[in-house]
Amino acid sequence: MTKRQTRAFFYAGTGVFGAIFIALTIDSHRQFPTLTHSDRITPAVIAGKHVWHRQNCVNCHTLLGEGAYFAPDLTKITQQRGAAYLKAFLKDPSKFYSEERDRRLMPTLALSDREIDELIAFLDWVGRIDTQGWPPRPILVTGAAIPGTEAVGAPPRAAASSDPVALGEALFRRTPPGCSACHSTAPGVNVVGPSLANAATVAAQRVESPDYHGKATDAAGYLRESILDPNAYVVQGPTFSSGGRSLMPSDFAQTLEPRQVDELVAYLMTLR
Amino acid sequence: MRYRTQAVAYPYWVVALLLYGLQMVFGLLAIVKYLGPDPIRAVLPFDVSKAIHTNLLIVWVLTGFMGAAYWLVPEESRTELYSPRLAYWQLGLFTAAGVTAVVGYLFRWTAGNKLLEQPYPVKLAIVVVMLMFLYNVGMTIWRARRLTTTEGVLVAGLAGAAVLYLPALLEFDNYTVSIFYRWWTVHLWVEGVWEMIQGGLLAYLLIRLSGADREVMEKWLYVIVGLTFISGILGTAHHYFWIGVPAYWLPIGGIFSALEPLAFLAMAVYAYAATRRSGLAHPNRMAVHWTIGSVIYSAFGAGILGLAHTWPSVNRWTHGTMITAMHGHMAFFGAYVMIVLAVVTYAAPILFGRPHEEHETAIGLWAFWLQIAGMFGMTMAFATAGISQTYLERIIGLGYLETQQKIQVHFLMLLATGILFAAGVALYIYDFFFLVPRGHREPTPWPAAEPVEA
Ligand SMILES: [Fe+2]
């Protein structure tokens, strides 16, 4: 080969592959609106993106798997945690995590309520982007090493089963809805929400107690109500509520099918 | 020195090496924060130390590249630099912009976009710096009416770096779209035009150190940069995994980034062939160390370790874990840090008017081997941490925080090897600043003239 030929190789190679790249870029622009649901980019989402950048979140966290590896990935966080919890967490992370136990702690950022709402709107929009099935299994902030939160996919017996209890347990351990990211089924282990080790027994006591003013009349009804309307009765505890409102997601009535709620209740009724 | 104005390179390298030292401080701080707990979390949290660590790297490597260009262009074009004064102003402005950015980060003044954290005014200053540089070099070449392929590739690489910085100035409301264009700057820098710069500097060093025939070297240089772009442009797609872009980027990213090691492999063959043909009898043995080291480490770090996690079915599990840090550290060090240090090591005795042989000091050798060993150890620490993280967090489904606790031992190893590495850097800086100038004498005559080409 002569220098002339190698030079031609360089120019032609760069030119051809550069042109393909530009063509695919144009095509990608055609598809961005559908893939990213750009119609959902509201002013709050845009404002939230600015807060995200201003606060340098990406140099601790990853989002869509990109960023720094010092803190958990946040791509699906709003589907795992819900807005109420995230609001309370972003106000003061040290209420939920401890540096002694976890060896690291998110600093308390001086965020206004409005900025927090915008951040959550932004993260919620990101969570709906079509990521081609990534992550292949949920990335949890914490859990599984905590007794009673083993998120080992669906328990094997659920696979070919139509047993509502098995299906309920499988769903409980899946993200979303992410019940097990907040609830342990081991006695006395409170993660974000209370331990559900004796859920059925506790539920029966709650409906009987004088300070219960909800609509349920029995344990199963109480459990159903706890899932669909967490604020009907708010359990007291250090990380359970903020300003009297439950930190459990309040939109399961919309995101879960009635059959799934039945299954969850059936499963929880076995925990005595 | 053949041309007086080549000395402009010296202050560039002084600034570059000082910032390299500072980069180590923030890198070590970041590791300590990984181990936790972090008593200075309120004043200097992890995100700040990380942003400073990576920004210092970019600034100092670019400063080193520009210094190298000012060293090389007069020599290749056989003329004095167009305007040394402009070059000094440029360095002043660049340093000021870099220092402003770093101090700004300390006070939370940031654009908060990974690797492009520079606030907007700083970004504009960087564009001005690039224009000053290109004008100065362009005028030098223009006046000399002489452009060798080696310097052409180097300067085109730097010009490309300037052009590709422009997408960083754009803003998009759609996060996916802004990530899409962020990689035009970041990926097409480090796996595109910066590789061109590396190739140009490597060709220069091999010609000088081995006395290889320039015609042959420059011929194959085109093949190397050709391979770089053929694989690297579409290889951008390996950053388009799982971020909300069309699915066809997955196979494209897999295939073309699997081809990316070819360019690095070609550089290794290139260096091997040059030394086979002409030997490496050059008396500046430290420069030979750094040059060959750069070729080997970039083939390993950028080539093989990149390949290790670039296939979509693998990346699905490793995306966003410490595996990325494993590849990033060795790739940057091998391809860009080592090539800058190679040019500096080669040029230092000439700048200071000392015989080449005396440049191989015990400290120089320690500086080299400590950095080599330290970076190898760090890469292994990141790899073992990343593999464990992938398995525990992504495959088994353990929580992030629990996983991080279980892989603490790898962070300890990272700290230990990081200290070794930083010691190597400190020795290099000490060698450059204190040992070499001490025996300052009159410039020795230029070593045996290179064959003059047509
Ligand atoms: Fe890349």
Structure pTM?
0.90
Q: Does B423 touch chain A (CB under 8 A)?
A: no
Would you state the pLDDT for residue A155?
47
**pLDDT value of position A166:** 87
Q: Which residues from B are below 8 Å from A135, CB to CB? A: 242, 316, 319, 394
pLDDT tens-place string over residues B337-382: 999 999 999 999 999 888 887 777 899 999 999 999 999 999 999 9
Hey, what domains does chain A have and what are their CATH numbers?
A: 41-127 (1.10.760.10), 164-268 (1.10.760.10)
Which of B177, B250, B400 faces A32 most closely, judged by CB atoms? B177
Cβ of B50 within 8 Å of Cβ of A68? The answer is yes
Nearest partner of B319 among B381, B394, B250, judged by Cα: B394
Residue A140 has pLDDT above 50, yes or no: yes
pLDDT over 70 at A145, yes or no: no
Q: Which long-range contacts (CB under 8 A, 24 or more apart) does A199-203 make?
A: A199/A223, A199/A268, A199/A269, A199/A271, A200/A268, A200/A269, A200/A270, A200/A271, A200/A272, A201/A272, A203/A268
Mean pLDDT, range B284-293, rounded to an integer: 93
Amino acid at B37: P
Confidence tier at B260 by pLDDT (50, 70, 90):
very high
CA distance B109 to chain A (A): 8
Distance B201 CA to ligand 1 centre (A): 21
| Mean pLDDT within B323-344 | 97
Mean pLDDT of A107-112: 94
The verdict on B262 touching A (C-beta cutoff 8 Å) is: no
Q: What's the gap in Å between the CA of A75 and the closest CA on chain B?
A: 10
Contact criterion met (CB < 8 Å) for A3 and B46: no
Higher pLDDT, A184 or A143: A184
> From ligand 1's centre to the CA of A171, what distance in Å?
38
Q: How does the average pLDDT of chain B come out, rounded?
A: 92
Q: Which of these ranges, A15-19, A210-214, B76-80, B236-240, has the smallest mean pLDDT?
A: A210-214
| Cβ-Cβ contacts under 8 Å for B52 (sequence gap 6 or more) | B26, B102, B105, B106
Average pLDDT on B112-120 reads 93
Give the per-residue pLDDT at B453.
42
Q: Are A182 and A218 in contact (CB under 8 A)?
A: no
If you write DSSP's letter for every residue of B194-222 in order, what string do you get? HHHHHHHHHHHHHHHHH---HHHHHHHHH
Distance CA A268, CA B393 (A): 27
Per CB-CB distance under 8 Å, the chain A contacts of B179 are 64, 66
pLDDT of the residue at B451: 46
- Rounded distance, CA B155 to CA B138, Å? 9
- Say whether B226 and A153 touch across the interface (CB within 8 A): no
Q: How confident is the model at residue B454 (pLDDT cuts 50, 70, 90)?
A: very low
Task: Tell me what pLDDT residue B437 has.
Answer: 54
Whether the Cβ atoms of residue B306 and residue B257 lie closer than 8 Å to each other: yes
Residue given tokens 């309370």 in the structure block: A88
Cβ contact B68:B8 at 8 Å: no
- The string of pLDDT tens digits covering residues A254-266 is 999 999 999 999 9
Which chain B residues are closer than 8 Å to A133 by Cβ? 316
Q: With bands split at pLDDT 50, 70 and 90, how would you rate the model's confidence at A159?
A: low
Residue A151 has pLDDT above 70, yes or no: no
The pLDDT of residue B229 is above 80? yes
H helices within chain A, ranges in order? 3-36, 43-54, 77-91, 99-102, 113-127, 164-172, 179-182, 199-208, 219-228, 252-255, 258-269
pLDDT mean over B307-323: 96
Shortest alpha-carbon distance between residue A232 and chain B (Å): 30
Query: How far away, in angstroms, is A228 Cα from ligand 1 center?
Result: 45
Instruction: Label residue A147 by pLDDT band (50, 70, 90).
Output: low
pLDDT in tens, B383-436: 999 999 999 999 888 889 999 999 999 999 999 999 999 999 999 999 998 865
* Residues contacting A16, CB < 8 A, separation 6+: none
Out of A64, A67, A145, name the one closest to residue B398 (CB).
A145
Residue A246 pairs in a beta bridge with A241
Q: How many CB atoms lie within 10 A of CB B280?
A: 18
pLDDT at B440 over 60: no
Interface contacts A/B by beta carbons within 8 Å: 236
Q: What is the pLDDT of residue A156?
A: 46
**What is the CA(B24)–ligand 1 centre distance, in A?**
23
From B41, B48, B114, residue closest to A67, measured CB to CB: B114
- Is the pLDDT assigned to residue B136 strictly greater than 50? yes
pLDDT tens string A161-211: 688 898 898 889 887 888 988 898 888 888 889 999 999 999 999 999 998
Band (B447; pLDDT cuts 50, 70, 90) = very low
Lowest mean pLDDT across A134-148, B96-110, B258-272: A134-148
Query: What pLDDT score does B11 carry?
Result: 96
Confidence of residue A150 (pLDDT cuts 50, 70, 90): low
Q: Among positive and negative, which fits the CA dihedral B111, B115, B118, B120?
A: negative
